Chains A and B, each alone.
Chain A
Amino acid sequence: MSFIKKPRITKGLPQNGLGLSIVDYEGAMSTLCAGCGHDSISAAIIQAYFELEIEPHRVAKVSGIGCSSKTPTYFLRPAHGFNSVHGRMPSIVTGANAANRDLHYIGVSGDGDSLSIGLGQFCHAIRRNVNMLYVLENNGVYGLTKGQFSASTDIGSTARKGGAVNQQPPIDPVLTAINFGCTFVARGFSGDKQSLVPLLKAAIQHPGFALLDVISPCVTFNDHEGSTKSYAYTRESERTTVYADFIPSREPIETDLVQDVTTVTLHDGSRIALRKVDDDYNPFDAGAATAYIRDHQDQGEIVTGLLYMDEEAQDLHAMNNTPNTPLNALEPSKLIPGAAKLAALQKAWR
């Protein structure tokens, strides 16, 4: 980590449609280890919100506990942040989203926070289709407690020190999410910002629960020979199925420039463009996607890209038939029935 204060120079930087530069989307200086994959993800998050022209203070960023959960400090300074307790970020976002449907929610978690202590909340937030971006910064190791295996550590992966070999099968967040009906499932790699930013943009705009599992090597405890979450191993094994990009409603799609593009139109008229690399892959078929991911996993490959999406599913608010006005903005007169109604109600208890 560095103790040097970040310079705030905006002069000459490009501005987005809101007149904001990328600096306006940055946060405090990271205190993570130099080269940490998580910092690359933070940079991609900054880029994605900047490009989407979302006012940073209209984002709420929530996390649990762990290295990954520290990162909301490092992006979107003008956004409210909530560094909560271990494994419980999904419930905080669920409640926050119920209270105010108008904000953008980003939950940041790690493989320990999501797949061990927080596995239950992770799965249930998916079931409720809470409209949020869930970034799982997956390094396959416990960093803050210095190098224990996590629930995403692959069988056969070795510890950096002591020679321990993991024997327990991993929990794959992507397969878990598809299995629980997650409406947007993608996997990226912190070392591939080119692909990560478009995936983030699509995930942010998805009107439901969007899981983005990002392989994010831990340079200190899990980047060695024998680790299956190292930079080298991930680069060698990554296999991208579908590239995604987000296209705002005002921009036309220049389809003649891009071949094999499928577009999915969102409720607000914007679109997500999907460019398939593998013709066999169908990101709208949960069963086929699962089989494909499993199959390639067995061959030692890490499947990345946009893996599954369902734009039609109802989110938490649709299921609860809440009004368009956020619940936290409803006037007391709409909520408090008054003395006359109380008197009428009590007839039943006489």
Chain B
Amino acid sequence: MQSKDRINDFVVQIATVNGTGSSSANTLLMKAIFRMGIPVIGKNYFPSNIQGLPTWYEIRVTGEGYLARSSKVDIMVAMNAQTYAEDLACVVSNGILIYDGSWPRAELESRPDISVLPVPLSKMCNESFTGARARILMKNIAYVGVIAALIEIDRDVVRQLLSETFTDKPDLVESNMQAFELGYDYTQTEFNCPLENRLVPMDAMSNHIMIDGNTAAALGCVYAGATVGSWYPITPSTSLLDAFGKFCKQLRQNPETGEQNYCIIQAEDELAAIGMALGAAWNGARAFTSTSGPGVSLMSEFLGLAYFTEIPLVLFDVQRAGPSTGMPTRTQQSDILAAAFASHGDTRHVLLFPANPEECFWMAVSAFDLADRLQTPIIVMTDLDIGMNDWPCPELTWDDSYRPDRGKVYSARELSEMDVFARYLDVDGDGICYRTLPGEHPKGAYLIRGSGHNKLGGYTENADEYLEVVDRLRRKFDTAAELVPEPVIETSNKSSCAIVTLGSCEGAVHETRSKLAAEGVQTDYMRIRAFPFSKSVIEFLADYSQIFVVEQNRDAQLRSLLQTEAGVSADKLIPILSYGGMPIACEDIYEPLLKKITQGKAA
């Protein structure tokens, strides 16, 4: 049973049909709460479809500032008759269900433990607006009004947001406000307002923005100075290149001549997309591509080539649920192993694991610097949850003294002063060689090849010459471990038990740890932010006898990597896994973890 007043701590879920324009209404609702200074997250659960299938939007109001979804629904706005039964079933006891009462439904009255509020949304909108599309859209705004009355959203904030959305269309501000008032006034008149679940303004969101990871990563690419983006559309990574294009148009186009200081190429497939990025990077541009799991499979051949020929490259893998086509609109972290060892032969890649949009931004920049520094592909492993959902983040910051690190590249002048240049000499002993760019100087020329080559770049099938190159590549990977972002570590010195996780699990793990701490169970914490594992990752792991590894895939892929690459014995790594495609929630971790800690104690 819930306590009476639940201020700034509840979930509103809206069940609609995709293609009905509800997403702007849902964003309006979430943004209004955000503008009231209250931490809020929005998660969109949408189908791989354009129109007509069920879709849900979860708004979690969380005064505590938790970042994970909740698995409980306090207020359900059931706008889709197809899913009435399941929407009714998932409301918590004492919760609320709102539905379009234009057509009363007796079956929705079957749960005496919740309050059902029928609001004649269609009827009201049909009376007030003309045109089928307008009526559907206004119905969405009307349910925003209903919720606003119930949880006390400030109407002025709503008006302000609408006027920002429709800057050039004041008529639309008025008609949207009219729809909002229809829902708002009806609710105030007919029901007891506000609910026990309601908002009280806070000041927790100043200097914060609401942004999705794909937008933030795209902005990172702009700020890293990337000029060539080649890609093939695939959910959930498409919006990354879309955003890159939008920002480039805004920030990189000469307003007078229309000249564009960038080139975006929509390729014919993922093979070509990465080939183009590779060609551009070989030629000295900062180039990248973005994709999801199926694209990584297709790109593996080129990833191997880039690894072996040592060409800088940035790849974003916005992970979705696999295997194969899998569930394109559901999230997972199931490409970890595929990405780490993408391509045949002894191949290994540097991976970065951002946990939120803010990290997507700066890790995108780091990825380009690391790619140039290490002359190898850097794969930024985000996921659908980070990439496509809006997250509250501290404002992004930028240091104007930043200069791209282009790594070891000989200039024409340096080449002219040299007797001979050879491509794969480990001059500095760190496994990273000096490269040259095509066209710079005749002395810099060499033929780059995916076939066996010696340290001079020449073709070889000689064992010793081959070993010299592949063993140096292995050493270069050790150098990478010193350069990649360090883990986030929180220790209390009180615990022998640690939770290790990565990426978008962070919010749910953080919430779990708070909940455990409240129960008197202390846990230490490490969030890994890159592969290969740095020294501090290895050292942390050595300190604990029981390590819970939380990740979003079936096969405990991070755990495998910790075994093989960090030398941690399997018996102390306990997997906690969530892989149904929904973003991980605290309850996915809390119960299993508590059970296993207890078991450990009993044994």
Contact = CB atoms under 8 A, between A and B. Distances in A.
B435 to A, nearest CB: 10
B445 A95 contact: no
Nearest to A349: B209
Nearest to A332: B225
Contacts of B276: 91-92, 94-95, 98
Among B225, B227, B247, B284, residue most surrounded by chain A Cβ atoms (within 10 Å)? B227
Contacts of A98: 228, 230, 263, 265, 276, 279-280, 285
Interface string B264-300: 1101110111111111111111010000000000000
Among A320, A321, A335, A339, residue most surrounded by chain B Cβ atoms (within 10 Å)? A335
B268 A84 contact: no
Interface in A153-167: none
A83 B302 contact: no
B449 A121 contact: no
Contacts of B448: 80-83
B447 interface: yes
Contacts of A97: 279
A227 B375 CA distance: 46
A330 B260 contact: no
A91 B261 contact: no
Given A99-B283, A339-B398, A349-B209, A327 B278 contact: no
A118 B437 CA distance: 26
Given A82-B447, A320-B260, A337-B223, A60 B268 contact: no
A60 B439 contact: yes
A268 B285 CA distance: 26
B53 to A, nearest CB: 29
Contact of B285 (A77, A92, A328): A328
A322 B265 contact: no
A346 B222 contact: no
Given A57-B441, A100-B438, A336-B223, A328 B263 contact: no
B272 A83 contact: no
Interface residues of B, number: 74
A91 B459 CA distance: 23
B279 to A, nearest CB: 3
B263 A327 contact: yes
B256 interface: no
Contact of A81 (B250, B283, B447): B447
Contacts of A11: none
A14 interface: no
A327 B302 CA distance: 23
Contacts of B445: 57, 77-81
A92 B261 contact: no
Interface stretch (B326-334, B399-407, B563-571, B586-594): B399-407
Contacts of A120: 268-269, 272
Interface of B: 35, 208-211, 219, 222-228, 230, 247, 250-252, 254, 258-265, 267-269, 271-285, 287, 301-302, 305, 395-400, 402-404, 436-442, 444-451, 459
- Give the 10 A-B CB pairs with smallest separation, nearest first: A91-B275, A95-B279, A95-B276, A99-B285, A81-B447, A80-B438, A95-B280, A349-B209, A92-B279, A78-B442
Given A95-B280, A98-B263, 12 more contacts: A82-B279, A82-B449, A88-B275, A95-B281, A96-B438, A123-B268, A323-B254, A327-B263, A342-B219, A342-B396, A349-B209, A350-B209
